Amino acid sequence: MMKLAMRALLIALLLLPAVASHAWQNSSQGASQESAAETQARIDAIARELERRQAAMQQRARELSTTERQVQQLDKKIAAVASELAELDDALRRTQQRINNLEQQQRQLRDEQAEQQQWLAKQVDMAYRIGEHDLLKLILNQEEPAEFERLHGYYGYFNRARLAKLDALKATQRELAQVTAQVTSEQQALAQQKATQEQQRKQLETQKTEQQKLVRRLNQEQRQDQSRIAQLEQDQRELEEVLTAIIAALRDEPQLNGLTRLKGQLSWPAQGSVQRIFGRSRSGGVKWKGILIDASEGTPIKAIADGRVIYANWMRGFGLLLVLDHGDGYMSLYGHNQTILPNVGEVVRRGEEIARVGQSGGRESPALYFEIRVKGDPVNPTQWMR
């Protein structure tokens, strides 16, 4: 699985120059077109840089325990279902909005229909009252021709008005029937979507229960492992190697402006409480190179600044890990995600939702692991937040 992840990283980084060129074509003023030879040379350089590190990472990947592999696979399944639920939630909102609009239209048509019916009722009553002068008697009695002409005109006017209103009433009734049918259809679609949503939520809960069992088993195995400190150091070295490969691949290719001007003005990536402080010791003296933010499962995680996704995959010790390149040697890292929304190579904007808080990578409770790096070196994220 780690071999596949490494290959995915290799392919993603190989594609980064083309993706970045397309994404920033409009915003990069004065940037010259690279020749095909220069582009190929950079791709070859990236490939060589990653190949030098691939052997060591594949060797460590073989050391993953069976439980860790199961956690990795289940984390990805949960991420997929959570992503489907997010899309379904959006579809439900859109369907409900259509139903609300149709029901409003339905109420307006019913009001219009009632108004038309009242008008016709008044016309029938008026026709009855006029009938006291019996048009037939006036026709037979030619002694008052002026009166005959006047009433004959009234009768013609009222008849035409009634016929027009009857036509309008029929049209309203037809339109009302169509809207009513649409409401019924949309309500049926909404019910089906809710049923699908409930089924997926149950599936997610089942997977989360299984995840908790695997996490407990994994933690038990790790507690019995006397090399816990070595494992923490190994996890950190593996992350360092990935970041070193990314930095090497991206050198001489500044696409963004970095975070220098934003220091002290950045918003926190997720709402929660900071439980692990940068620079403090973990187990066995291994220090935190970022912070851990406790948050509810599914809490949106937002990009701290404009950036480009350069890594989005599962990594031991960090679960589903997302890395953003902000340019000028600045990066931000987001770990233990439940799901990752953008793909490698995509450009994201400041404040855009990029992931959701989870507990992937063997955590017993949901949290976000967050780092800021400057040219590969970790810095205290709290000094950059407002």
- Residue 41 CA, distance from chain mean position: 36
Q: Give 91's pLDDT tier (boundaries 50, 70, 90).
A: confident
User: What are the CA-CA distances from residue 45 to residues 50, 239, 245, 249, 252 (Å)?
Assistant: 9, 21, 11, 7, 12
- Among 22-31, 97-106, 275-284, 289-298, the range with the most confident prediction by mean pLDDT is 289-298
Residue 354 has pLDDT above 80, yes or no: yes
Residue 122 has pLDDT above 90, yes or no: no
pLDDT at 31: 36
Q: Find all residues with CB under 8 Å of 217, minimum gap 6, and list them.
A: 67
- In which residue are the tokens 């029937």 written? 177
The stretch 36-42 carries a mean pLDDT of: 57
pLDDT at 254: 42
| 56 half-sphere exposure, CB direction, 13 A CA radius | 13
- Residue 374 CA, distance from chain mean position: 28
pLDDT at 289: 92
Q: Give 342's pLDDT tier (boundaries 50, 70, 90).
A: very high
pLDDT at 169: 75
Average per-residue pLDDT for the chain: 76
Q: Name which of 118, 358, 369, 95 is nearest 235 in CA terms.
A: 369
Q: Give 35's pLDDT tier (boundaries 50, 70, 90).
A: very low
pLDDT at 249: 60
Q: Give 322's pLDDT tier (boundaries 50, 70, 90).
A: very high
Residue 213 has pLDDT above 90, yes or no: no
For the record, the structure tokens of 197 come out as: 């949503």
pLDDT at 305: 95
pLDDT at 340: 97
pLDDT at 303: 98
Residue 5 has pLDDT above 50, yes or no: no
Question: Residue 372, Cβ neighbours under 10 Å: how many?
Answer: 27
pLDDT digits (tens, 9 = 90+) for 284-309: 678 889 999 999 999 999 999 999 99
Q: Which helix (H) or strand (E) holds 63?
A: none
pLDDT at 19: 40
Residue 205 has pLDDT above 60, yes or no: yes
pLDDT at 374: 96
For the record, the structure tokens of 386 come out as: 């407002």
The stretch 323-348 carries a mean pLDDT of: 95
pLDDT digits (tens, 9 = 90+) for 163-186: 787 787 788 788 888 888 888 888
CB of 50 closer than 8 Å to CB of 10: yes
Of the candidate ranges 128-137, 217-226, 298-307, 330-339, the one whose mean pLDDT is the lowest: 128-137
